């Protein structure tokens, strides 16, 4: 499953964006993938799909992009949604379907209308983030 990756490369190419690919074996641990890419962990971006439950019948999904040396604070994510009763990790099959990629290879982009992208401010102000472009979308 490389749907998101293929869409991202096509988007970058179509817009003549400057980017660099670093091929490596798939790895889900930030410290290990940072070593493979040759950058410090704090320059990495962890991409985590979360579910936020609002009441008993409504769920929203969030792609949280956090610094590689940080942990996601689900209570803070929950506080961003009015009426939210729960925030936690999405089921792996749901996360992969929404992200368009397998766990451990989720990109800091979303092409799925049900997935809201949230970028932690410290990453937004970083000049280079693990050679990955970061964008924010309003959804």
Tens digits of per-residue pLDDT, 19-68?
877 777 777 788 888 888 888 888 888 889 999 999 989 999 999 998 88
Burial letters for 32-63: b for 16+ Cβ neighbours within 10 Å, e otherwise? ebbeebebebbbbbbbbbbbbbbeeeeebbbb
Query: What's the pLDDT score for residue 1?
Result: 56
Which two tokens mark 9? 């490369």
State the pLDDT at residue 60: 96
Q: Output the six-digit token pair for 102.
A: 């397998």
Residue 121 pLDDT class (50, 70, 90 cuts): low
Summarised one tens digit per residue, pLDDT across range 56-97 is 899 999 999 988 888 888 999 999 999 999 999 999 999 999
pLDDT the model gives residue 81: 93
Q: What is the pLDDT of residue 132?
A: 39
Buried b (16+ CB within 10 A) or exposed e, 81-93: beebeebeebeee
Residues 113/97, Cβ–Cβ less than 8 Å? no
Question: For residue 108, what are its two tokens?
Answer: 């800091």
Please tell me the predicted confidence (pLDDT) of residue 43: 82
For residue 102, pLDDT beyond 60? yes
Domain spans of the chain, in order of start: 3-124
Residue 10 φ/ψ, nearest 5 degrees: -60, -40
Q: State the Cα–Cα distance between residues 112 and 92, nearest whole angstrom.
A: 16
CATH number of this structure's domain 3-124: 3.90.960.10
Helix (H) or strand (E) holding 79: helix 74-79
Question: pLDDT value at position 15?
Answer: 94
Rounded to an integer, what distance in angstroms lies between the CA atom of residue 113 and that of residue 4? Answer: 13
On average, the pLDDT of the chain sits at: 82
User: Which tokens go with 57?
Assistant: 């019948």
Q: Which residues contact 91 (CB under 8 A, 6 or more apart)?
A: 51
């Amino acid at each position: 499953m490389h749907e998101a990756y293929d869409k991202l490369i096509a988007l970058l190419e179509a817009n003549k964006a400057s980017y660099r690919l670093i091929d490596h074996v798939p790895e889900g641990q930030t410290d290990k993938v940072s070593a493979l890419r040759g950058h410090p962990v704090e320059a990495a971006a962890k991409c985590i799909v979360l579910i936020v439950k609002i009441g008993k019948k409504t769920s929203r999904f969030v792609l949280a992009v956090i610094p590689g040396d940080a942990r996601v604070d689900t209570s803070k994510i929950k506080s961003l949604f009015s009426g939210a009763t729960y925030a936690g990790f999405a089921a792996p099959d749901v996360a992969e379907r929404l992200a368009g990629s397998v766990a451990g290879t989720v990109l800091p982009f979303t092409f799925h209308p049900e997935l809201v992208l949230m970028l932690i401010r410290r990453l937004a102000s970083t000049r280079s983030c693990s050679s990955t472009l970061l964008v924010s979308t309003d959804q």
